[in-house]
C-alpha cells in the first residue's frame, strides 16, 4: 500500500458531520475517486459478495458470469460438485474469456491465443508452449501453475453462492448473522426454489442510493402512494426492522393487518394537504391486489438486505433475488432473479409472474424507485459540503424497531460502510492512506 496525501485522492469537503450517521455527505454518491476506493476497499475487501444461485449451475460444467463491483467473474460447477469463482480475464494478455451470461463447458478457452483453463480456473494447456519445429515457445522458466485466473474464496448458504477476495473476511454464517440466516431459511430453504425469470433495470444513480431505498420502509406508502389508495400497504400496517449488530444486514418486514388495510378513511386525514392521496381510486382488476399469501406467517413484505449488494425480497407471493451491479458512480444495474418453488401449481406460477408485472421494472414500484433515485442523483450532483438528513424514527442509537416509519436501518448501513471504507471518525479530517 503506497502513501499518498489524502487530498490528492479525496475532496477535502467530504466530512461525516454526525457520529450517529444521521448526516451523509452527498459527494459519496458522485466522486469517482470514492467509487474507485469502493472497488478496492469494499468489493475486494472483507465482504461476502453474492455470485449466483446453486440451482442455476446444478450440473458438472454449468457456469454463469456475474459482477463483483466492476470485476467480471465466472462461477463454475466442477466435476466433483465443487463451486469455483474466478476472474473472467485471461492471465496472458487480459482478454475476456467467457462472453456469454451462462452455459455449460468442461473447460474455458480464451478466444485470443487459446489458453485453456479448467473449471477451477487453473491454466492447463496453451498452444505452442514448446514452439514449433524446435523454435519459439515459452521460456523454460514458464510454469503454468503461476498463471491461473485470480480466484475468489467461495462459500454457500441456503443455495446462495458468495465469494470474497479477502482472507480477513469472517466466515459466511457469522457475516450474515442470525436474522439473515433465519430469513434465508424461511425464503429459500423450506421449499426448493427454481428460477422462473430474469429482469434487469438500469438506474441512473449511485449503487448506494438503492441500498438506502431498500432499508427505507418509510417511503413505501409515500412514493408508492397507489399502494395506500388500493389498501395494499399503508402506514397503519404493523411492521419493523431487525439488524445485525453492525447494521450491515437488515431485515425489514411488514405484517399484513386486515383491519388496518381497510381503514382508508383515517388515512385520508394522514395525507391531508399532500394533494396526492386519492382514496377513490380503484384498480380495474382488484385481484392483483388481493393475493392470498402462500406462506402462513402473515408477512406481506419482507426485504432482506445483505451488505454490500444483495437483497432477497418477498412481496406478497413474489420472491426475488436483487443484485446490485455498480456501473460507475452514477449508474447501477439491478439484476433481478425471480423464484418459484418446485411444487408450484401452474396457477400459482402464473400468479407469481403476474405479480412480477406489478412490482417489476415495467410495473409501478421498481419504476418509481428508479425514478426517485435518479432525482436524488440529479439533485445532489453539484453540491459540495452538503448532506442528507436521516432523523425519521429517532437519532442517536442504532437499534431495531417495531415500526416502519424510520431511517434507522439506513444509518446502520452507513455505519458499516464507513467502517469498511476506513473513514476517520465523524468530524475528523481524512488522513487515511490511499487504497
Ligand atoms: S489473451 Fe488470452 S490467450 Fe492471449
Ligand atoms: Fe420503493
Determine if the peptide bond prior to 308 is cis (ω within 30°).
Answer: yes
Where does residue 150 rank: exposed (0-12), middle (13-18), buried (19+ CB within 10 A)?
middle
In which band, very low, low, confident or very high, does the pLDDT at 12 lie, cut at 50, 70 and 90? very low
Helix, strand, coil tally for the chain in percent (to 5): 30, 25, 45
Please check the confidence at residue 265 and state whether its pLDDT lies above 70. no
377 vs 10, more confident: 377
Distance 210 CA to ligand 2 centre (A): 9
Among residues of the chain, what percentage have pLDDT more than 90?
70
pLDDT at 232: 77
182 pLDDT more than 70: yes
Residue 223 has what pLDDT? 92
The answer for residues whose C-beta is within 8 angstroms of residue 8's C-beta and 6 or more apart is 434
Pocket test for ligand 1, best of 86, 87, 93 (most atoms within 8 A of CB): 93
Contact call for residues 88 and 73 (beta carbons, < 8 A): yes
Lowest mean pLDDT segment, chosen from 10-14, 73-77, 206-210, 240-244: 10-14
Q: In this structure, what DSSP letter does residue 132 have?
A: B
Q: What cell was used for 10?
A: 479525496
Alpha helices in 185-305 (DSSP H): 207-214, 225-229, 258-262, 264-270
Q: Could you tell me the distance, in angstroms and rounded to a whole number, from the CA of residue 311 to the centre of ligand 2?
A: 13
Q: Is the dihedral of CA 274, 370, 14, 412 positive or negative?
A: positive
Please answer whether residues 150 and 87 qualify as being in contact, where contact means their C-beta atoms are separated by less than 8 angstroms: yes
Domains of the chain in start order, with CATH, are 49-155 (2.102.10.10), 192-420 (3.90.380.10)
Confidence of residue 269 (pLDDT cuts 50, 70, 90): confident
- Top mutation candidate among 74, 115, 116 for ligand 1, by most atoms within 8 Å of CB: 115
Rounded to the nearest whole angstrom, what is the distance from the C-alpha of residue 293 to the centroid of ligand 2?
A: 20
Q: SS3 for 128?
A: coil
The count of other CB atoms within 10 Å of the CB of residue 284 is: 5
What is the number of the ligand closest to the CA of 114? 1
Ligand 1 atom closest to residue 90's alpha carbon, by position in its atom list: 2
Q: What DSSP assignment string belongs to 319-373?
A: EEEEEEEE-STT-EEEEEEEEEETT--HHHHHHHHHHHHHHSTTSSHHHHHHHHH
Cα 223 to averaged position of ligand 2 atoms, centre (Å): 7
The whole-number average pLDDT for the span 247-251 is 88
Cell match 423450506: residue? 190
**Cα(289) to centroid of ligand 2, in Å?**
17
Sorting pLDDT into bands at 50, 70 and 90, what band is 259? Answer: very low
Percent of residues, the chain, with pLDDT higher than 70: 93
Mean pLDDT of the chain: 90
Distance of CA 105 to the CA centre of its chain: 28
d(CA 114, CA 357): 43
Residues with CB under 6 A from ligand 1: 90, 92-93, 95, 110, 112-113, 115
Residue nearest to atom 4 of ligand 1 (CA): 113
Nearest protein Cα to ligand 1, atom 3: 113
Q: What is the mean pLDDT of residues 379-386?
A: 93
pLDDT at residue 361, as a whole number = 76
Q: Which ligand is nearest to the CA of 111?
A: 1
Q: Max Cα separation, the chain?
A: 89
CA of 370, nearest ligand number: 2
Q: Confidence band (pLDDT; 50, 70, 90) for 256?
A: low
**Nearest listed ligand to the Cα of residue 113:** 1
364, three cell numbers: 409501478
Q: What is the residue with the minimal CA distance to atom 1 of ligand 1? A: 93
Tell me which residue of 329, 113, 317 sits closest to 205, measured CA to CA. 329
Atom of ligand 1 nearest to the CA of 115: 3
How many A from CA of 126 to the centre of ligand 1?
9
Strand arrangement, sheet containing 160-164: 49-53, 160-164, 153-157
Kindly state the average pLDDT of the residues 212-221. 92
Average pLDDT of the residues in 220-227: 87
> Which of 95, 124, 148 has the most ligand 1 atoms within 8 A of CB, as the residue to mutate?
95
Note the pLDDT of residue 371.
96
DSSP, res 387:
B
Point out which residues pair with 132 in neighbouring strands.
135
Q: How would you class 392 by CB atoms within 10 Å of its CB: exposed for 0-12, middle for 13-18, buried for 19 or more?
A: middle
Amino acid 10: pLDDT = 53
Q: Which ligand is nearest to the CA of 127?
A: 1
Amino acid at each position: 500500500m503506497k502513501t499518498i496525501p489524502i487530498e490528492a485522492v479525496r475532496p477535502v469537503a467530504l466530512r461525516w458531520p454526525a457520529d450517529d450517521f444521521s448526516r451523509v455527505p452527498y459527494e459519496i454518491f458522485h466522486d469517482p475517486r470514492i467509487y474507485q476506493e469502493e472497488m478496492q476497499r469494499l468489493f475486494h475487501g472483507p465482504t461476502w459478495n453474492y455470485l449466483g444461485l446453486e440451482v442455476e449451475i446444478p450440473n458438472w460444467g454449468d457456469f454463469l458470469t456475474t459482477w463483483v463491483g466492476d470485476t467480471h467473474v465466472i462461477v463454475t460447477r466442477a466435476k466433483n460438485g465443487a463451486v469455483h469463482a474466478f476472474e473472467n480475464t485471461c492471465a496472458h494478455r487480459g482478454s475476456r474469456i467467457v462472453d456469454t451470461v451462462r452455459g455449460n463447458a468442461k473447460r474455458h478457452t480464451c478466444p485470443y491465443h487459446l489458453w485453456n483453463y479448467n473449471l477451477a480456473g487453473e491454466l492447463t494447456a496453451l498452444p505452442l508452449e514448446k514452439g514449433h519445429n524446435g523454435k519459439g515457445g515459452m521460456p523454460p522458466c514458464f510454469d503454468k501453475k503461476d498463471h491461473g485466473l485470480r480466484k475468489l474464496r467461495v462459500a454457500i448458504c441456503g443455495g446462495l453462492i458468495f465469494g470474497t477476495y479477502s482472507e480477513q473476511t469472517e466466515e459466511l454464517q457469522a457475516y450474515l448473522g442470525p436474522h439473515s440466516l433465519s430469513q434465508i431459511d424461511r425464503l429459500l430453504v423450506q421449499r426448493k426454489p427454481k428460477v422462473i425469470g430474469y429482469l434487469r433495470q438500469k438506474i441512473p444513480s449511485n449503487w448506494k442510493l438503492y441500498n438506502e431505498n431498500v432499508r427505507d420502509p418509510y417511503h413505501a406508502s409515500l412514493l408508492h402512494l397507489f399502494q395506500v389508495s388500493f389498501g395494499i400497504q399503508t402506514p397503519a400496517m404493523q411492521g419493523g426492522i431487525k439488524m445485525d449488530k453492525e447494521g450491515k444486514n437488515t431485515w425489514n418486514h411488514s405484517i399484513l393487518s386486515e383491519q388496518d388495510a381497510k381503514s382508508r378513511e383515517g388515512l385520508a386525514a394522514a395525507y391531508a394537504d399532500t394533494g396526492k392521496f386519492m382514496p377513490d381510486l380503484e384498480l380495474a382488476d382488484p385481484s392483483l391486489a388481493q393475493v392470498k399469501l402462500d406462506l402462513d406467517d402473515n408477512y406481506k413484505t419482507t426485504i432482506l438486505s445483505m451488505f454490500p449488494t444483495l437483497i432477497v425480497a418477498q412481496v406478497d407471493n413474489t420472491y426475488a433475488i436483487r443484485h446490485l451491479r455498480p456501473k460507475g458512480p452514477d449508474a447501477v444495474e439491478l439484476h433481478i432473479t425471480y423464484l418459484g418453488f418446485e411444487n408450484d401449481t401452474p396457477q400459482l406460477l402464473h400468479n407469481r409472474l403476474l405479480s412480477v408485472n406489478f412490482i417489476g421494472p415495467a410495473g409501478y414500484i421498481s419504476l418509481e424507485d428508479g425514478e426517485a433515485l435518479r432525482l436524488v442523483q440529479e439533485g445532489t450532483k453539484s453540491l459540495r459540503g452538503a448532506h442528507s438528513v436521516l432523523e425519521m424514527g429517532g437519532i442517536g442509537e442504532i437499534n431495531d424497531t417495531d415500526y416502519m416509519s424510520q431511517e434507522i436501518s439506513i444509518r446502520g448501513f452507513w455505519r458499516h460502510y464507513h467502517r469498511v471504507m476506513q473513514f476517520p471518525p465523524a468530524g475528523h479530517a481524512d488522513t487515511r492512506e490511499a487504497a
